Amino acid sequence: MKKLKLISLLLTVFMFTTLSAQEFKYIGAEKCKMCHNKPEKGEQFNKWSAGPHANAMKSLKGAEAQDPKCLKCHSTAGHVDAKAIATLTVAEGVSCETCHGPGSRYKAIPIMKNQAQSIANGLIIPDEKLCRTCHNEESPDFKGFDYAKYSAKIAHPNPLAAK
């Protein structure tokens, strides 16, 4: 009996995660900007725009900008499943949602204010492992990766967030 319950629980969890994974769509940084660009809260959009990730497509010249081998790391929209894209563009490069997960479901304020609910709706809290999916030897221009140093360079904390 116990075994049966466990199996049905696992099945439900599996169905829920595969179903909802398909529902999470990439919406693009412009959509995050309306709530995440206030100076007193750390203007995440401006910091990202001025940083390396938003400008990653500018490093690809000519045919490289269509080459899946380069897009894999230089553009989120350039490598994720096309069905998962709502309004994200290739030109956005390494977008917010590369690190934070597709935002279509978690972007609503009541969900965003609750971390557990945000995660259930697709939010990712990025860590070193995620960075290393791109910052590794497969990159023709790999310069090594020191998480502390690299995350400080792209930091965009919210000074008002209780931590």
Residues that bind ligand HEC (CB under 6 A): 27, 29, 31-32, 34-36, 41, 44-45, 48, 52-53, 56, 59-60, 64, 67, 69-70, 72-74, 94, 96-100, 103, 107, 109, 112-113, 115, 118, 125-126, 130-131, 133-136, 138-143, 150-151, 153-154, 156-158, 161
Q: Are 104 and 22 in contact (CB under 8 A)?
A: no
Q: Are 78 and 95 in contact (CB under 8 A)?
A: no
Q: Which is nearer to ligand HEC, 5 or 163 (CB)?
A: 163
> In the bound complex, what is the minimum distance in angstroms from residue 45's beta carbon to ligand HEC?
4
Q: Give dist(CA 132, CA 159) in Å, integer.
A: 27
Q: Which is nearer to ligand HEC, 13 or 127 (CB)?
A: 127
Cα–Cα nearest to 26, from 74, 124, 96, 115? 96
> In the bound complex, what is the minimum distance in angstroms from residue 4's beta carbon to ligand HEC?
37
Residues 35, 36, 41, 43, CA torsion sign = negative
> In the bound complex, what is the minimum distance in angstroms from residue 23's beta carbon to ligand HEC?
15
Q: Give dist(CA 81, CA 89) in Å, integer.
A: 13
